[in-house]
Amino acid sequence: MAILVDEARWQWRGTRWAHLVSDASYDELHEFARGLGKRRLGFQGDHYDVDVIDRDRAVDLGALAVDSRTLVRRIRGAGLRNRLDKPQWVRVAAWPSGERLLVHELPVDFRAAFDAVGLDLTAPVVALFEDLDRQAVLVDLPPDVPVDASHPELIVGGLRVDGSRSIEMIVSR
């Protein structure tokens, strides 16, 4: 079983994009994507979109480069093709770069969760998202900020190309 990535041929936002999938499990896919610095909020139900730079990084880290037809055939064969259950995250708040998170601006569920993982409540928050039954806070941090990654609702991303890492906290409503 493998992580697969197709050709970066879809144009969007001034660059080309590809699809990153697993033909083994979503857990394998999430783990690999996290190592690339991809955010869980970017999961598209059965794949992650990756730009041409992250596609090349994925191949360097062991992803198998395949054509689009092979990619779809492999995830269908593994029972992992899921176009209908794409998460429907809606951004409900965003903070400009450089502003600081204020405790009273967050839903109460996040206050205890941030405290539990030892994340400074003045960390720069990028955005707050919601779907039907969950809320998520997205924080971008330098790689040297310590965080207790054992919290079950915390997803600590790997280093991105710019050297930052993404911290996502997803809680049920």
Q: How many Å apart are CA 21 and CA 73, to the nearest integer?
A: 11
Confidence (pLDDT) at 123:
65
Whole-model pTM: value is 0.79
Phi-psi map region of 7: left, alpha, beta (phi>0 left; psi -120 to 50 alpha): beta
Higher-scoring residue by pLDDT: 4, 108: 4
Higher-scoring residue by pLDDT: 132, 106: 132
Q: What is the pLDDT of residues 112-153, one digit of tens each?
A: 777 776 766 666 677 888 888 888 888 777 777 777 667 666
Q: What is the pLDDT of residues 67-80, one digit of tens each?
A: 999 999 999 999 99
pLDDT band at 65 (very low <50, low <70, confident <90, very high): very high
Residue type, 171: V
Confidence (pLDDT) at 137:
81
- Which pair of tokens denotes residue 149? 């990654």
Q: How many Å apart are CA 163 and CA 90, to the nearest integer?
A: 26
Query: Which DSSP symbol is given to 61?
Result: T
Question: Phi and psi for 14 in degrees, rounded to 5?
Answer: 80, 10
Q: How many Å apart are CA 110 and CA 23, to the nearest integer?
A: 34
The 3-state DSSP class for residue 158 equals strand
What stretches of the chain show up as alpha helix (H) in DSSP?
26-36, 52-60, 68-77, 108-117
pLDDT band at 94 (very low <50, low <70, confident <90, very high): confident
pLDDT band at 103 (very low <50, low <70, confident <90, very high): low
Q: How many Å apart are CA 146 and CA 36, to the nearest integer?
A: 19
